[in-house]
Structure 1
Amino acid sequence: MERFLKAGFALREDIIKVQHNCKATGFWVKKSKLYNFILIMHEHLFVFQKSAAATSPKADYRDENEQ
């Protein structure tokens, strides 16, 4: 998300998507303990809007470490 904000995009909405049939399902609870993985409870979906700076052909969206 930070890369998009630094590149000039504006955050319009943060949608939180709840994962169903995960924690409440005994099957997955047992599997997560058996194979040592964490169940995902929710995830964020970010909606951005382009600005004039973000549409510039010279804009560089890469992280400093990737260059």
Structure 2
Amino acid sequence: MGLKNKLKVQMEAKRQLMIVSANKYGLTSSETIRYSQELDQLMNVYRQVAQSGEDHTVSVNDVSCMN
């Protein structure tokens, strides 16, 4: 599985966590905001990968929020 596919999976998982958190704790809870920010980071990395056309041009630090 390439980096773009891994990022898609991670983005979807993070989005689900954000939705669950928002439903449970509200949109402005610190947990929901953290998930939203992590999702934003993943989306930015995905855009970098998609624009470059090559999975290996993104640094390891850029995908640190994937865990």
TM-score range, shorter chain: under 0.3
Identify the structure with the greater strand proportion.
1
TM-score in terms of structure 1 length: 0.26
TM-score in terms of structure 2 length: 0.26
- Greater CA radius of gyration, 1 or 2? 1
Identify the structure with the greater helix proportion.
2
